[in-house]
Every structure is written in C-alpha cells, then in structure tokens.
Amino acid sequence: MKKLLLVVFYFAGFSFLFGQEVIMTENFDGFAAGVKFTQAFNNKDVWTTWSNAPGGAEDALLSDKFAVSTPNSLVLANTQDIVLLLGDKVEGRYVIEFDLLIETGKIGYYNMLNDFAGSNSVWAYQVYFNTGGKGVIDAGKASAATFDFAYNTWIHVSTIVDLDDDFATLYFDNNEIISWKWSSGTGGAGTLNKLDAINFYGNNSGGTSGMYIDNVVFKSTTAPAAPTGLKAEVIDGKDILLSWNPDPGEPDNYVLTRSGVVANAALTDTFYLDNPYPGISHYTLRSHKAGFGYSLSSESVMAEIEGGVDRKYVLFEIGTGTGCPYCPGAAMGAHDMKTNGDEVILIKYHNYNLTDPFNTAASKERAGNYYKISGYPTSFADGTLSVVGGSNTVSLFPGYHQHYLQRKERRELYSLDVHVWNLSGKTYRAEILVSELHDFVTEEKTLHTAITESDISYNWQNQTKVENALRNMYPDAFGTKLDFSDEKEHALTFDFTLGDTWVKDNLEFVVFLQADPSKEVMVATKVSLKDVLLNLDDMVGNEYAVYPNPVQSVLNVRVEGEKTFEILDITGKKMLEGITSGRIGVGQLESGMYFIRTGDGKTQKFIKQ
C-alpha cells in the first residue's frame, strides 16, 4: 500500500477573476453512471490510476447517487486510486478546484503531488477525512491543521499554488484553512518546487472509503503585486517590530512569514510586534484579497535576537521495527546521515510489533503513547519535525537531512554537562548538570536519559545489523521534570546497570531535555561507553586520573589534595594553568588533543570534544 502523508488544506470556492486561463475542467456528466472513469475517459496523459492501469481494480466508478452538476460524480471506494496529471508545472500560478462530499459514516483522502512517480512520488500536501467528521492536514509539517466536516454535504475545495513565489493556500468553502511554503511538502522536509498531479484515493485505513468528487477545474492565474516597505526593528533586545506600507488594494488581511514558516496569517494592521525564538529571523509579507488569494511576497528583511549557543546535536527518534517492510529506508537514512557527517544522535524505538526482540517498555511508551506513532517508520527530529513512511530499498536520507539542517539553525537555550564512570562490574553512574542559558521557553521541561546499542548482528528485511536500538531509559520513559523558574541549574545523578547481553563498547548514554506540550528537544548530548574505563583504578595509576575522556566542559582530575596544574596543546603551548582539587573547566578549549600536567610532574593525555 502506498504511503499516505497526513496533510489537509481548505480552499475557498472563490470565483477567481484575476488574469485566469482555464486549462481543463471535468464534471463527469458526459459518461454513463457505473462505468470505470479513467477507462471511459481514455487518455492516460490526463486521467489515470496510481499504477497507470485504467480499467483495473484501482479505477473508480461514476455514480449518480450524489452530484453538484447532475447527474454524475466520481466515487472513491476502498483502495481505488485516481490521478489527475497537471503537467509537471515548474513556474506560474495555478488554481485547482473541486467539490468533495463524504458519505455518512465513511472516510476520505486526497493529496497533491510535487512529482508523480508511483511509489517514489513526492507529496506536496495531504488531507484525511476521518471518522466522526474529523479531518487532519499535513502541509509544511505533519498534522499542521485539523478541521470538522459534515457528512453528505458538498465542500468546495480550492488550492492556489504559486510556483514563482513557492507559496500555497488551501480554502474550504471560501475560508482560508492554511498557507505554507509549497515545496516543503507534507512533513516540512521537501525541496521540490513543482506541481505535477492530484491524487484521489479510497483510503480504508480506519474506516470505509466513501468520497465523492465533482466539478474539477484547473486554471492558471496571475498574482497581485507584493506589499512594499517592510521593515524590522529590534525592541528591547527581545521583540521585533515589523511595519510596512498600506496596500492600496485594500486587502482583507496580511500574512507574515518568519524564515519560511507562517508566523501570523490574520494581520489587518500595518505593523506587528513579534517575539521570536532567539536567533536570526527572515521575514516576508503578503497581502490577501478575496477572489485573488495572496499576493507575491515582499522583499525579505532580517533581524536577530541575541541568546543561546549554536546547536551541537540534532536528536532523531525513529519508530521502527525488524518486522516492518518499509523500515529499511529509515535505517539507511540514519546510516547515511552519519556517513555524511551530520551531527546527530539516534534513538530507535522498535515498536512496530510487540514480538520484536528489541521492543522494550520504554520504546512502547515513547513511540506508542508519547508520540502516538501509527505508521512505521516515523521519525522525529528534535521532537518536532517528522517524516512518516519509508521504503524497503530507498534511503530516507534526503528528508532526514533537510530536517537536520532546519534544526541545526535552532539555537540551544540550555546546556548539558554529562559525566559517566563505572562504579563496579556492569553498574555505572552518570552525573548531569542542566543549565538554562536564556530565559525564553515557558513550557514544562523534562530530562530524559537513555541507553542505545549499535552494531548488533541481526538479519531483518534486507538488513544485517540493528543500530541505535533503545535498551532502556532512566529512571524510566517518563523522565524527570525540571523547573527553571527559580533555579537556573539542576544537578542530577543516575545509577544504571547494563543488561547481560549488551556490548559495552557499542553503547551510548544519551541525555536530552524536552519541552511539553510542543515536544521540542531543547538540547541533547551523548557519551560513548567505549570511552568510559571499567573503573577509576584502570586509569593511570591509583592516585592520578582524568575523566571523562573525551570531555566536553568539565574535566575531573583524581588527585590527593590540591595540586597546581597546566594544560598544554600538542605543540607544548600552555593553554590553561591554576590550582585544582578535582574539577577543571575546559569548555573554552577548542576540540582536539591536550595534556594535563600536575605539580607533582605527572602527565595525562585527554581529548576535548
């Protein structure tokens, strides 16, 4: 079954009059009810089925049960799969309209495609009409919008796609539902700015399909002129005041985008005070008028709010399973990110089925209950950007990498200082210092710790290894709540014991801070247990050792009493000196190899990450 991307858009049934040219129309009334439509239409360059097989099982029937223009409409029963080809458009501005009805007690689904290529198609957005009159849209991100609909009632759906501006708007019955960057696709990871097809599918996942389509129209149009005079001014170091010239066309409203994402779509004044996440923001503005849609975008302006530090790692949590036929694509995508040099941390939740040998209670809680993953594989980049669906043979790297790049631009407003050492045998201790660097996020925060294992020999699907499988979480999958309203630093200690079959040198101890309800991961880091010696006595002698090694910010030195020290780089240049009784801050050092020499003449090598 082909992958369904969960995106829904509402398009207004406007009579668009601005420089239009009708490219095609179809009201389904020129054929007899009961025939298979694409077979009767007999032109696969316009109407076809998903497998390009008119007359086959995918072909949909014409029906006279419901219709806007009598007597017929197209009905999508279970698994029927119809495609209208729109001609591989790469420039211009287009309107795609149709009427849609969901029969009482039934469900429906449609999508639009940047590129139609069967199972390798690229989804632009998708709409689910689910049971109980509830709908969900994926456009620019998963579950970007929800809506209610009435059964046995025609909805006029209209989408305006401006390829020259890379912007789209969806309307239902003359009401704007959502606007987004067209090329970003259903999950926000897309890059293909093209319009190729619309797909009406008889989805039977969670119900019985009963969707009717009538009066399909495809036409080109011209965009109104862009607003002028957009300016950005930083106010008090935390807000950005946007202002612009009034549009002489007396628009209904303006939409402001921040770094490609709609920040506000209901502006009626010619100014707006934005309170953005710290970092650099790029703004554009469009005006909207009923009957024409949104204008072209204004020229971009930039402003920066200080705060935070560059993001070190992006955390990818992936719902997967060895029994999942589409999950090899996720495994290949994760592998390709590491090969590409992407600074990622990976946690894979094997929750596709409970008989998976790598399924754990923590995996079930995170994948099933927290993220509510229903289709496998599903990835979450830092908890917010998701890719749903996969492939048995094709790597998901392109989508994963786009989400990685987006999240790397997001600054860290918190820091993690993590030290792990062996207590005895298979028991370890982790000391974690969590610090708030910039007071911006007001959501509840939870600290999570996890152990993952890689390089596990296991034959599944077309793969021979299991990588980054979640082994356990500490104290559990629910994590530890932290409150930064009064205390800006929190010190925590966790003791954990390795499983009997786990291979120490293949384990990573992962720590991340997550905000709720947004689920955004604020900061994440990891420690390879391969770099943790079995106990302190295995280090240089019994009276002098350094750990962790490699180190990120604080180096622990095992010495008797206080000792003078100096830190040298590999050329012998002195980088730091002082007196220590056990802890030395080395966060200011560049990454690389160093030597620490104490006053008693002993020297130890360490790696700064």
pLDDT of residue 351: 96
Q: Residue 100 pLDDT more than 60?
A: yes
241: left (phi over 0), alpha (psi -120 to 50) or beta: beta
pLDDT of residue 18: 53
CA distance linking residue 194 with residue 184, whole number of Å? 11
CA distance linking residue 524 with residue 434, whole number of Å? 11
How many CB atoms are closer than 10 A to CB 110? 24
3-state helix, strand, coil in the chain (%, to 5): 10, 50, 45
CA distance linking residue 99 with residue 127, whole number of Å? 14
CA distance linking residue 445 with residue 184, whole number of Å? 29
Q: Residue 103 pLDDT more than 70?
A: yes
Write the single-letter amino acid at 105: G
The CATH architecture annotation of domain 307-532 reads: Sandwich (2.60)
pLDDT of residue 19: 65
Q: What residues does each domain of the chain span? A: 10-221, 231-305, 307-532, 546-608
Write the single-letter amino acid at 594: Y
Which range, 328-332, 553-557, 572-576, is most confident? 328-332
What is the pLDDT averaged over residues 552-570? Answer: 85
In 3-state terms, what secondary structure has residue 365? helix
What is the pLDDT averaged over residues 262-270? Answer: 95
Superfamily name and number for 10-221: Exo-inulinase; domain 1 (2.60.120.560)
Q: What is the pTM of this model?
A: 0.79
pLDDT of residue 544: 59
Percent residues over pLDDT 70 in the chain: 95
SS (H, E, C) 215-269: EEEEEEECCCCCCCCCEEEEECCCEEEEECCCCCCCCCEEEEEECCEEEEEEECC
**Adjacent-strand bridge partners of 134:** 130, 148
Write the single-letter amino acid at 72: N
Check: CB of residue 408 under 8 Å from CB of residue 311: yes
CA distance linking residue 72 with residue 279, whole number of Å? 55
What CATH number was assigned to the domain covering residues 231-305?
Answer: 2.60.40.10
In 3-state terms, what secondary structure has residue 351? coil
What is the pLDDT averaged over residues 467-473? Answer: 98
- Taking Cα atoms as reference points, which of 117, 140, 146 lies closest to residue 3? 117
Rounded to the nearest integer, the mean pLDDT of the chain is 92
Q: Residue 406 pLDDT more than 90?
A: yes
What is the pLDDT averaged over residues 346-351? Answer: 98
Q: Residue 601 pLDDT more than 80?
A: no
Check: CB of residue 318 under 8 Å from CB of residue 349: yes
pLDDT of residue 558: 79
What is the pLDDT averaged over residues 372-395? Answer: 94
Q: Residue 372 pLDDT more than 80?
A: yes
Q: Residue 195 pLDDT more than 80?
A: yes
CA distance linking residue 115 with residue 124, whole number of Å? 8
pLDDT of residue 448: 99
Q: How far is CA 110 from the centre of its chain?
A: 21
More confident residue, 393 or 609: 393
Quickly count helices (H) and strands (E) in the chain: 4, 45
Peptide bond preceding 71 in cis form (omega within 30 of 0): yes
**How many residues make up the chain in this entry?**
609
Q: Residue 540 pLDDT more than 70?
A: no
In 3-state terms, what secondary structure has residue 54? coil
- Taking Cα atoms as reference points, which of 282, 264, 89 lies closest to residue 176? 264
> Which pLDDT tens digit goes with each residue over 37-75?
999 999 999 999 999 999 999 999 999 999 999 999 999
CA distances from 71 to 29, 64, 104, 159 (A): 6, 5, 20, 25
CA distance linking residue 298 with residue 387, whole number of Å? 31
| Neighbouring residues of 405: CB distance < 8 A, sequence distance ≥ 6 | none
Calculate Rg over the CA atoms of the chain: 28
Pick the CATH number of 546-608 from 2.30.30, 1.10.10, 2.60.40, 1.20.1070: 2.60.40
Range in 208-222, 264-278, 445-459, 546-560 the model is least confident about? 546-560
Q: Residue 203 pLDDT more than 70?
A: yes
What is the pLDDT averaged over residues 519-534? Answer: 90
Q: Do domains 10-221 and 307-532 have the same CATH topology?
A: no
> Which pLDDT tens digit goes with each residue over 429-453?
999 999 999 999 999 999 999 999 9
How many CB atoms are closer than 10 A to CB 291? 12
Q: 603: pLDDT confidence band, cut at 50, 70 and 90?
A: confident
Euclidean distance between the first and the last CA atom of the chain, given in angstroms as a whole number = 45
Question: Which tokens in the block code for residue 541?
Answer: 């002698």
Write the single-letter amino acid at 475: P
CA distance linking residue 335 with residue 464, whole number of Å? 13
| Neighbouring residues of 579: CB distance < 8 A, sequence distance ≥ 6 | 562, 563, 564, 565
In 3-state terms, what secondary structure has residue 400? helix
pLDDT of residue 600: 78
> Which pLDDT tens digit goes with each residue over 227-251?
999 999 999 999 999 999 999 988 9
CA distance linking residue 339 with residue 336, whole number of Å? 5
Percent residues over pLDDT 90 in the chain: 81
Write the single-letter amino acid at 278: P
pLDDT of residue 528: 94
Range in 40-44, 87-91, 309-313, 418-422 the model is least confident about? 418-422
Write the single-letter amino acid at 479: G
More confident residue, 519 or 420: 519
